[in-house]
Structure 1
Amino acid sequence: MKTVSNAYFAAFYQSCLDLGADKAEMQALVPGGEQTLGSSNIRYPAACVVELLNKAESLLTNQAIGMKVGKNLRPSDFLDVGHAITFSKNLRQSIAINIRYQPLTQQFGRSSLRVQDGSAWLHWHISDEPEDCRQITESIIASHTQFGRWLIWEYDKAIQGVYFRHKKPSYAEEYEAFFGCPIYYEQDFDAMVFDEAALSQELPQANEKMLKEVCARLDIAMLKLDAEGALSHRLSQLVEIILPRGEFEINKVADYLGVSERSLRRRLDKEGTTYRKIIAETRQRLCERYMRREDMSLKQIANRLSYSEQSAFTRAFRTWNNLSPSKYAKSQGLNIPRDEPEPEVMEATS
């Protein structure tokens, strides 16, 4: 079952009230009653957010409710995920963090970032039919836009375009007033597009030390969230944490999970995968993340991924992307720092 965090649900609930929805009507849609709001241990079915928006729309005869709720969301509504976004060094890193920890906040769908021809495309992927998820999609795209403006302290920052899968609604002029850019309907995808240069803009509240502390808590929270999920998924999350430390031998990982190595291999086989495959997939995912940070050289990335030699890293990268790491970085517009040249060793002569 897809779920949302308590804080995420509460933010939608409060926003609907702020927009004028009847409190008694809204309270009736809170699973377990209003007293459950604020309990971090409780997650709500994602469908409950849709019910909230539908009810608010009918009560307020306001079909733009999704976008208006999205405009009201702030990073603080996302607790530690919001803190990590705020502490990021630039917009690129904040987007990567949101994508990484998105399941902690909501499980409607996932975001992804694509850079092409000087533009950054922030996509929203959701499997529901366009008209069925119109309000959720509006809230996500609106919150992405508002977050970006809030993070860089440019509240009227223009974007290049917005793309929606759903049909043009009767309240389209409200989109235009908020986004301030061309809007395209009945497209093959949902996305917002903006200037690639904004990705590298430094954020005024960046704090590397606090970011590391918050991300450490989020990594643990992700493991707990997946505790009831497939072992292979839990394992990939664990490997993601321990791989940079070089402690990814299968016997050590089995100890972390409290199972024998034999049992671990057998259970992975039942799920149609292997430990070797999980290592490769995790390395690929981490590599993409590290490259998009733009603060690590290729040699540093190879070391972080626990490759014993740079050549082994390059071979693996080619299998993932059919390009060398440097050519891939260029194709994506990534500015990867150059490796520092190793000092020459002068041999003494007698």
Structure 2
Amino acid sequence: MSSRSILGLIYMVQGLQQMGEDPEPVLARHGLSLNRLDPSTRIDRSRELRIYADLAENVKDPLVGLKLGGFYGLAGYGPLVMLLMTCSTAYEAFQAGIRYQGLTYLYGTLRFEPGDKLSCLVLSPMAMTGQAFRFRVDGEVSGTYKMVRDMQLSLGVDIHAERIDMPYPRPPEAADYEAYFGCPVRFGDTEARFWLRNEHLQLRLPSADPNAHAMYRAMCDQQLVAQQTSNDTLAERVLTHLGLFSGSYPSAEEVAKSLGLSERSLRRQLSEDGRSFRDLLAEARYAKAQHLLRHTTLSVEAIAQQLGYAESAAFIHAFQRWSGMTPSAFRGR
């Protein structure tokens, strides 16, 4: 099962909170809490989708999905946005975006359909039931619109949609969609479409850089490989869940509940595989400690807090037990 950055979920939950919604009860049912999520980690795609579906059933504002697009920051796309901005033309940027769409926050599938005067970027939505379908489609369409809008503002070019088609019946709030996108919006199609003028697609990007583009393409390729992580065993699923947390970690009972098991069943199944919850918690902490020591300048005290230690001395002692050296020595190497 593939995974991806948890940033998409964090952006959405933060957006819901700012719009007066309360996503915490849904997160709690999945064993999560916003203030304990580590933005540098990854989440299983199927699990994230279940959370989205549950959140959609609890929102009160029918325009929430549309408004959520504004909460997806351009920087959150990482190397992908730099890959797009170093393309030669807008058309090449759209083609690269389609090729690397797995690095976006989409669950639908993008493709490009050329035409004589107008071409369109097509989003085939993932099938979902009830309110979740409109919620997810609106979020993906407005998020894609926001990404293109932010890029064109930073580059000083004009790439706007002539019309947008939405894949569900016309809602009572249709006028709000045209006001949001600044163009006509047609409802009742089978897919979402952004209609673009061909001359806009030929615009040359001022930030084009073939050498930097090759570097970012290699980084994006590496990220695509990293997404194909396997969580086939219970121990791997437990490690993935523990990896989502920062500051404090859930108990064995809480982890078991999030995985649909009793604590007794969790411990028994782990024992049958020669593992224990205590060892897995240590493994998750050690992996996060190594990452923070290698890739950040956080102090040992700050890292200890992110790993849930009340005192840095306890963290230093644990790290020496795991690696045979102090955190400072590990970072020096």
TM class by smaller structure: 0.5 to 0.7
Give the C-alpha shift of residue 185 in structure 1.
Answer: 1.4
Question: Following superposition of structure 1 onto structure 2, how do residues 172-321 of structure 1 map, counting pairs within 5 Å?
Answer: 172-226=174-228, 228=230
Shift of 1:151: 1.7
1:82-101 superposed matches below 5 A: 82-101=81-100
User: What is the alpha-carbon distance in structure 2 between the residues aligned to residue 101 and residue 193 of structure 1?
Assistant: 21
CA 1:172–1:2: 2 relative to 1, 3 Å: farther
Counterpart position of 2:315? none
Structure 2 equivalent of residue 51 of structure 1: 54
Measure the CA separation in 1 of the matches of 2:55 and 2:4. Answer: 13
Alignment RMSD (CA, Å): 2.9
Contact conserved, 1:16 with 1:53, CA < 8 A, in 2? no
The alpha carbon displacement at 1:115 in A equals 1.2
Contact map agreement 2:3 2:229 (CA 8 A) in 1? no
Task: Identify if the C-alpha distance between structure 1 residues 19 and 202 changes in structure 2 by more than 3 Å, giving closer, same or farther.
Answer: farther
| 1:86 shift after superposition | 3.2
The 5-angstrom pairing of residues 105-144 of structure 1 reads 105-106=104-105, 108-128=107-127, 132-144=132-144
Change (3 A) 1:27 1:226: closer
**Bigger Cα displacement from structure 2, 176-185 vs 131-140:** 131-140
- In 2, Cα distance between equivalents of 1:31 and 1:215: 36
Give 5+ residue unaligned stretches, structure 1.
Answer: 230-350
Q: Secondary structure at the match of 1:116?
A: coil
| CA distance in 2 between partners of 1:130 and 1:68 (Å) | 20
Q: Kindly indicate whether the alpha-carbon contact (under 8 Å) linking 1:29 and 1:52 is maintained by their aligned counterparts in 2.
A: no
1:136 offset after TM fit, Å? 1.5
Mapped to 1, the partners of 2:33 and 2:24 lie a distance apart of 11
How many aligned positions are there?
225
Q: TM-score normalized by structure 1?
A: 0.56
1:107 offset after TM fit, Å?
5.7
CA 1:115–1:2: 2 relative to 1, 3 Å: same
Structure 1 vs Structure 2: percent identity of aligned residues?
17
CA 226–158 in structure 1, closer or farther in 2 if over 3 Å, else same: closer
Amino acid at match of 1:77: G
- With over 3 angstroms needed to count, the CA separation of the structure-2 counterparts of 1:104 and 1:158, relative to structure 1, is closer
* CA separation of 1:156 and 1:201: change in aligned 2, threshold 3 A: closer
Q: Which amino acid aligns with 1:13?
A: V
CA shift in 2, pair 1:26/1:206, >3 Å = farther
Contact 2:87 2:213 in 1 (8 A): yes
TM-score normalised according to structure 2 size: 0.59
Structure 2 gaps, min length 5: 232-333
Q: Which residue of 2 aligns with 1:335?
A: none
